[in-house]
């Protein structure tokens, strides 16, 4: 196997900032040709409905069917898939779902209101969305965890209808994925993939209902489609490749750190794994662990390509210098494999999920710790948050003015509205003064 050639940078050396920027740079593979193809697919689904989905099932998934019945998974079939699993997998899915549900129940927002000194009732009404769609990729890995992470916060929020779309290449769908749908409260499931699935969820067909919001990961076609239907429906985010940033003081077993880097690198050749330490000898030990362990990995080729393309080791003079690097990188996953990681939290402004301590592997967060594993990537942790219950709740403002309030605030409205040359606004408020 080819030797791993992760890039090595030293903070403070000439050209460090530009080299780091180059390594962090990632541009979507969605070019003009893909944009056009996705737009055509969306248009075809909008105009032809179920027939377009049947055609695309044969074209893209090698699954020719005669009707949508073959692309529809009933509630009974979902439950049967769960029952076909061995007990260990059933129990693992239930534990993960329960922990994710418990964590997300802490995020629920409640309606509130108060009456101010003028007698105006002010407040906020919080309601769940009616119907949401979750997309679950059906490629090289059966992502049961993605089902739980996307569906459970919607369920906790009070969404009544949770519609899942997942492709079935050659007509095959994972029992593991369907079983995750069973424990997560998915109410409908369709064997649809790619841009056509996103179009169906956004606009609806004769069989597939239109939803209010679409969440879930996917390839470039899925991401492009989500961007194009945004506005007709809500979306969670446009996700880039998976990322991990590990900060280690040199006191953690280097094999552990190597495997933590692998845990993200195995996702795809575009995934990014970064290690920061003040201990150059430790960085060399991790490099040796990578070389030793890589041949034992099932996805060794993907890991190797990822580490060679975007893998990075950074040496700092003092470990605390890593804090500003963290905020610059704004990683999806951040592992603080150090003593007293809680002492760093005040300084960390940008990270999707923060794993504190040597035993807090990123894999725990991916599956069953409780917080969501749908996280901002490619530096978007600067302004995005993890998927949560709040993504499936809407807020309506409440305003109930008394006669006194209309009389007192009406002149304020009049001055402001006339200052903006909006006289109808002004007169609407003026009519109620001294009424």
Give tens-digit pLDDT for 281-316.
Answer: 999 999 999 999 999 999 999 999 999 999 999 999
Options 332, 335, 362, 373, the catalytic residue: 332
Question: pLDDT class for 326, splitting at 50, 70, 90?
Answer: very high
For CA atoms 301, 305, 307, 308, the dihedral sign is positive
Measured CA to CA, the distance from residue 136 to residue 284 in angstroms comes to: 38
pLDDT tens for each residue of 199-252: 999 999 999 999 999 999 888 899 999 999 999 999 998 888 999 999 999 999
For CA atoms 349, 378, 306, 300, the dihedral sign is positive
pLDDT at 138: 81
Task: Report phi then psi at 274, rounded to 5.
Answer: -130, 140
Tell me, yes or no, if 333 is annotated catalytic: yes
Taking 80 as the threshold, does the pLDDT of residue 27 lie above it? Answer: no
Annotated binding residue at 306? Answer: no
Helix (H, G, I), strand (E, B) or coil at 114: strand
Q: What is the largest CA-CA distance in the chain?
A: 85
Parallel, antiparallel or unpaired: strands 272-277 and 353-356:
unpaired
Q: Are 68 and 207 in contact (CB under 8 A)?
A: yes
Encoded tokens for 312: 């990075």
Options 44, 266, 315, 333, the catalytic residue: 333
Show the domains of the chain with their CATH numbers. 7-26+240-369 (3.40.50.1980), 32-108+129-235 (3.40.50.1980), 401-430 (no CATH)
Query: Exposed, middle or buried, 198 (CB in 10 Å: 0-12/13-18/19+)?
Result: buried
Closest-CA residue to 196 (of 176, 224, 172): 224
Annotated binding residue at 267? Answer: yes
pTM for this entry: 0.93
Annotated binding residue at 404? Answer: no
First to last CA, the chain: 85
Phi and psi based region of residue 79 (left: phi greater than 0; alpha: psi -120 to 50; beta: remaining): alpha
Annotated binding residue at 268? Answer: no
Helix (H, G, I), strand (E, B) or coil at 110: coil
């Amino acid at each position: 196997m080819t030797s791993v050639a992760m890039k090595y940078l030293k903070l403070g050396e000439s050209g460090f900032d530009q080299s780091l920027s180059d390594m962090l740079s990632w541009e979507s593979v969605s070019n003009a040709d893909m944009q056009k193809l996705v737009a055509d697919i969306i248009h075809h689904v909008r105009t032809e409905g179920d027939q377009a989905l049947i055609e695309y099932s044969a074209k893209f998934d090698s699954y020719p069917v005669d009707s949508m019945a073959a692309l529809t998974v009933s509630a009974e079939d979902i439950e049967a898939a769960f029952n076909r699993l061995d007990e260990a997998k059933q129990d693992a899915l239930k534990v993960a779902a329960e922990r994710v549900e418990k964590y997300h129940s802490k995020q629920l927002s409640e309606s509130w209101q108060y009456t101010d000194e003028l007698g105006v009732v002010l407040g906020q009404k919080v309601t769940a969305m009616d119907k949401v769609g979750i997309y679950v990729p059906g490629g090289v890995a059966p992502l049961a965890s993605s089902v739980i992470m996307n569906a459970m916060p919607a369920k906790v929020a009070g969404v009544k209808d949770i519609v899942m779309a997942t492709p079935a290449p050659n007509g095959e769908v994972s029992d593991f994925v369907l079983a995750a749908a069973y424990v997560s409260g998915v109410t409908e499931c369709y064997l649809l993939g790619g841009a056509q699935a996103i179009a169906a969820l956004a606009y609806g067909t004769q069989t597939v209902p239109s939803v209010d919001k679409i969440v879930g990961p996917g390839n470039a076609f899925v991401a492009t489609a989500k961007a194009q239907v945004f506005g007709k429906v809500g979306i969670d985010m446009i996700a880039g490749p998976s990322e991990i940033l590990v900060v280690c003081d040199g006191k953690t077993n280097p094999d552990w750190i190597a495997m933590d880097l692998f845990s993200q690198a195995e996702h795809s050749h575009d995934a990014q794994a970064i290690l920061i330490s003040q201990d150059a000898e430790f960085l060399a030990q991790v490099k040796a662990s990578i070389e030793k362990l890589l041949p034992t990995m099932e996805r060794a080729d993907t890991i190797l390509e990822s580490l060679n393309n975007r893998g990075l080791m950074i040496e700092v003079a003092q470990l605390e210098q890593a804090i500003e690097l963290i905020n610059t990188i704004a990683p999806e996953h951040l592992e603080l494999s150090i003593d007293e990681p809680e002492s760093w939290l005040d300084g960390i402004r940008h990270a999707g999920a923060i794993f504190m301590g040597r035993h807090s592997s990123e894999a725990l967060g991916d599956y069953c710790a409780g917080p969501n594993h749908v996280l901002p990537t490619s530096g978007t942790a600067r302004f995005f948050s993890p998927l949560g219950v709040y993504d499936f709740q809407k807020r309506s403002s409440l305003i109930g003015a008394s006669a006194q309030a209309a009389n007192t605030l009406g002149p304020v409205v009049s001055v402001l509205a006339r200052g903006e040359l909006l006289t109808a606004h002004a007169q609407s408020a003026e009519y109620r003064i001294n009424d």
